[in-house]
Structure 1
Amino acid sequence: MFWLVTSCLLSLLFPLVSSIMAAAQPAGCKIRITDKGLEMLKSETEKFVEEEISNISMPEMKGKEGRFQYTITDVKINNLNLTHADLQFIPEVGLLFDVQNSSISLSFHRRILYWFFYDTGNINASAEGVNINTVLNLIRDNEGRLKINNITCEAKISKMRAKFSGTLGKVYDFMSSFLTSGMRFLLNQQICPALNHAALVHVNSLLETIPVRTEVDDFIGIDYSLIDDPVVTSRSLDMHFRGMFFDRSDPNNTLVNYAVDPVIREYDRMVYLALSEFFFDSGMFSYYKAGIFQMHINEKMSKDMEMLLRTTYFGAIMMLNPALVDAPLSLQFAVNSPPKTTIKTTGATVFMTAIVKVMLLPPGQPPVQLSSMTMETKFNAKVSMKGKRLAIHADLRRFKIFSNLSALESLALIPLQAPLKTMLQMSVVPLINNWTKRGVRIPLADGIDFIEEVVEYHNGFIVIGANLHFSKGLREMIAGSNQKDQDIV
């Protein structure tokens, strides 16, 4: 049912103690599914319920009534007509799927013995006044998954009609009452077990195929575990996730969430995704711990930049060894602390500091450090969503360097400001964007995507409103999840 979208929730593999500690922190990521999103999910739910009921297997019926002996076999449900169906939120519980005054058409094969007459044939029947009331209770399980905990189901068929054919059709009309009564009783007994199995087995197994902790790339992963039970109101379903990246080589070394708890106030779109500063900071913290924010620039250094560096440090080279004046130069960049994100209504920025070392590389000898300077940079970060992937594009906005040795050397570095900024824009920034443009997947089930996305910036968090697009039906998605399970086995 709505769980289609809530594929944003899946399995945390930490111990229970870690889960309790995580729950005490604010959410790094929140998702709201509104009643408008639920309305779109209703059609998929109806199709799924129709298919599940159509697949009901009815047992053989045998009996005797006076001179009549009968056997009913090959019962087939041909069609479920959901005339009045509704899918809605139940506050503090979960979901209600309610069917009223609908009908089911079916057929079965008869074998009847009356005195010395033996007759066989098919019977078309219809169940009318079909009412089905199904309530799904949604929880967070011990691993941080969204799960259907239980299902309450009531099914009732008001009346059933059967039309006999064949030579004794009119004679059998009076039999229809007890035959249809038996069929109605059996059908009533079969509907709820079929829906229970569909929800507790099929839907939950689909959720289990989408991991809560998943890889982003070779260096980091992300944790989308729920930190508490879903919050259900009459208008929405809100889910609060840990929303934290981690270094895959050291997954327990994570950032503590002190950021503002994101708030979603809107209901106009089908789904909303809210991301706090912690969401982005934990990603950069994890990349920093993985040692990604380091690079050497030598061969790719422009001739103009190399000439400027030689001019600036000519005196230092000559004092070291005049024979090294033609030795290659290298710039070493290393971020010296985790970058920090700031989100305001005007946009998102990332502040980063790094140590830049100017190195001399004499052939066959150890590198020689000519200078060490601190670089302060500020990037504008543009967040975008496409399909299931959240991406970030960085743009260098502010750049400053100063010496770690003396104020006098800082003055001497002023001519390097503009060329170094240009080099960063041409080499380092594209490297960063190459990591972030691939984006991180929001864990929706295969077959569901965000469309018509709108990004809004607030103080401390970002809210992305979107509508939903289904490229696969629920039955196809479940079949795909079953195939994944078989591939894993």
Structure 2
Amino acid sequence: MGMQSVAVACGALTLCLALTTATNPGFVVRITQAGLDYAQQQAIASLEKKLAQLRLPDISGDSRVLRVGKVHYELSRLRLRDFHLPYSRITPISNKGLQVSISNAFAELDGDWRVKFLFIRDHGSFDLKVENIYIKILLRLGSDTSGKPTISTPDCSAHISKVRVLFSGKLGWLYNLFHSVIESRLRKILENKVCDKVAMSVYNELQTYIRTLPVTARIDNKIGIDYSLVAPPRATTKSLDADLKGEFYSLAHRSPVPFSPLPLAFTSDHERMVYFGASSYFFSTAGIAYHKAGALVFEITEAMIPKDVEFKLNTSVFSAFIPQLEEKYPNMPMKFRVSTPTAPFLTVGEGGISFQPIVDVQAYAIFPNSSLAPLFLLSLTGNVSAVINVRSGRIIGSLDVGRIRLSLKDSAVGTFQVRMMQSLINILTSNMLLPRLNARLDEGFPLPLLDRIQLSNILVRFHQNFLLLGADVRFQPRR
């Protein structure tokens, strides 16, 4: 193999690897068989109503009846009284989609008839019972260019094994002589109409509904989440899986994340109707987005200190550790500016979510005219863990901070022993900074849910590289 061929092969391999990495999801949604069964119940109830509204065309034709001759008949004003789908099943078919099987369905309708033969004309009414209706529908799932899901019906078949027509009127006996002809025609019309109605319902209703899955979720005026599909939903023998981008981003200036999501080894748990897999990538992009949007910058002033905390944020208090403060800035109020020089990188493991942020704390003295004098810059590090739960369709959390380690990065008031400030920094962190962060986390981040879906029976489990959330679902119809 020549050098040019080697270069081309290496380039192709690199491209394939890059594409493979790029399509790894940051967030996965799995609908189990229990979830599909629940969705089927809701969909079948809706389909029953739609099929009961079928409009059937008038039927006319000629038939030859023994000892009577040529008979012209007309069936009109065909009205469906009801349409029942008592037994149905939805099954995921690997690499194809979802198959909906309906068996032993039945319907009843009535209408008017007219007959003409020789010089005789008559009319009346009839009842029609359709039994043993079998319907098979294949639902193919895909995605459009915006990452929203799509659904189509590439295949639908309906088979009616039994049709019974009972005519009333003076010449009802005549119709009953060639009922097989009429029943055959009605059977074919109904079979075609059923699949037409199914295709129309999928396009007009199911397609519209599944597109309520949010491609993006706006968190506030700074941050959003990208929940677009990175590939069409895929059916396995036991579930329907959807791979989502799962990426937080700054609304002001979105830029590529400097790393890619790792493959997510989803578990085979099927106790709940739906599962959500949120990877370390998902949570780490939150840190990047909030850092990029400037949302991880906080100011702490004395006015913000809770009244039950006996602590004054002024130079007199800190002069106990830094004597120079009393000389240069006697009895002046202070404030701290808390920021993160780099975005925090979160990891998810079997022990939970954790990260080790680096936090800069810049202290200022405040002059009477509100101008600021920089005093010193501290660097804080520590182990932070997160408790995660789900409430009202949102991921909520709270942070717990372990021991904080301090170091002095810069000082305009000379050197000093930062360890002497440990207790004061702990007070500021536990009573002011942490409550503000936890208040935001308690507002939560929305999960990618279809419209009018509510979650219950929540399960939270941690695995290597991802958080697993399980739930049962309930559909809330519009009132």
TM-score, normalised relative to structure 1:
0.85
Supply the distance in 1 between the matched residues of 2:457 and 2:402 (Cα, whole angstroms): 29
Structure 2 counterpart of 1:462:
467
Structure 1 counterpart of 2:447: 442
1:164 maps to 167
- Give, in whole Å, the separation in 2 of the partners of 1:364 and 1:385: 47
Amino acid at match of 1:195: V
Contact 2:224/2:251 (8 A) holds in 1: yes
- 8 Å Cα contact 1:109/1:122 also seen in 2: yes
Amino acid at match of 1:300: M
d(CA) in 2 for partners of 1:22 and 1:303? 57
C-alpha distance in 2, partners of 1:129/1:378? 65
Matched, 1:246 2:244: no
Q: Deviations over 1:74-109 (max 9, x none)?
A: 222222233432211111111111123332212222
TM-align CA RMSD: 2.6
Where 1:425 maps in the other structure, the secondary structure is helix
The reply to whether residue 148 of structure 1 matches residue 157 of structure 2 is no
Q: Which has the higher contact order (CA 8 A, sep 6+)?
A: 1
Partner of residue 81 from structure 1, selected from 68, 81, 84: 84
Give 2:325's aligned amino acid.
A
2:87 partner amino acid: H
Task: Classify the secondary structure of the residue corresponding to 2:304.
Answer: coil
Compute the displacement of 1:409 (Å): 7.6
Q: Which amino acid aligns with 1:375?
A: L
Q: CA deviation at 1:154?
A: 1.1
Q: Is the 8 A contact 1:386 1:451 kept in 2?
A: no
Pairwise mapping of residues 293-372 of structure 1 onto structure 2 (< 5 A)?
293-298=296-301, 299-301=303-305, 304-306=311-313, 307-318=316-327, 320=328, 324-364=329-369, 366-372=371-377
Equivalent-residue separation in structure 1 for 2:196 and 2:37 (angstroms): 25
Q: Which runs of 5+ in 2 are unaligned?
A: 1-14, 64-68
1:72-221 → structure 2 map (5 Å cutoff): 72-113=75-116, 118-221=121-224
CA distance in 2, matches of 1:270, 1:329: 54
Q: Which runs of 5+ in 1 are unaligned?
A: 1-16, 481-489
User: For the structure 1 residues 416 and 121, does the alpha-carbon distance in structure 2 shift closer, same or farther, using more than 3 Å as the test?
Assistant: farther
1:374 correspondence with 2:372: no
Closer, same or farther: CA 120–390 of 1 in aligned 2, 3 Å: farther
The offset of 1:456, in angstroms, is: 0.8
Give the partner amino acid of 1:458: H
Report the secondary structure of 1:267's partner residue. coil
SS of the counterpart of 2:320? helix
Relative distance call for 1:317 and 1:411 in structure 2 (3 A) is: closer
Alpha-carbon displacement from aligned partner over 1:92-134 (angstroms, at most 9, x marks no partner):
1111111233322122223344555554443210112312111
Q: Counterpart of 1:389? A: 394
Return the alpha-carbon distance in structure 1 between the equivalents of residues 20 and 251 of structure 2: 18
Partners of 2:195 and 2:90 in 1: CA distance:
17
Change (3 A) 1:314 1:409: closer
Q: Kindly indicate whether the alpha-carbon contact (under 8 Å) linking 1:317 and 1:370 is maintained by their aligned counterparts in 2.
A: no
Q: Is the 8 A contact 1:402 1:410 kept in 2?
A: no
Q: 1:45 deviation in Å?
A: 2.7
Whether the 8 Å contact between 1:33 and 1:270 is mirrored in structure 2 is yes
Superposed CA offset, 1:468-488 (max 9, x none): 22222xxx5xxx9xxxxxxxx
TM-score by length of structure 2 reads: 0.87
Greater CA radius of gyration, 1 or 2? 2
- Letter of the aligned partner of 1:124 in structure 2? D
Residue 294 of structure 1: CA displacement?
Answer: 1.0
Report deviation, 1:22: 8.7
Cα distance between partner residues in 2 of 1:149 and 1:42: 16
**What secondary structure sits across from 1:27 in the alignment?**
coil
- In structure 2, relative to structure 1, the CA distance for the partners of 1:55 and 1:221 (3 Å cut) is same
State how far apart, in whole Å, the 2-side matches of 1:153 and 1:104 are: 19
Residues 81 and 102 in structure 1, CA contact (< 8 A), matched pair in contact too: yes
Distance (Å, rounded) in 2 between the aligned partners of 1:317 and 1:175: 112
Identity %: 23
Cα drift, residue 255 of structure 1: 4.7
SS of the residue 1:76 aligns to: strand
- Residues in 2 aligned to 1:282 and 1:344: alpha-carbon distance in whole angstroms: 17
Question: Number of aligned pairs?
Answer: 451
CA distance in 2: counterparts of 1:187 and 1:161, whole angstroms: 13
More moved, 217-226 vs 417-426:
417-426
Asked whether the equivalents of residues 352 and 377 of structure 1 are also in contact (C-alpha less than 8 Å), the reply is: yes
Q: Which has the higher helix share?
A: 1
Cα deviation code 1:196-225 (max 9, x no counterpart): 122233222223344312312111111111
Match of residue 7 from structure 2: none
User: Counterpart amino acid of 2:350?
Assistant: T
- 1:36 matched residue in structure 2: 34
Paired residue type of 1:368: A
- Partner in structure 2 of residue 485 of structure 1: none
Letter in 2 for 1:49: L
Within-5 A mapping of 1:245-264: 245-259=248-262, 261-264=264-267
**Cα gap change, 1:28 to 1:70, in 2 (>3 Å):** same
Task: Confirm or deny: 8 A CA contact 2:21 2:260 kept in the other structure.
Answer: no
Q: Is the 8 A contact 2:157 2:195 kept in 1?
A: yes
The match for 1:4 is none
Partner of 2:226: 223
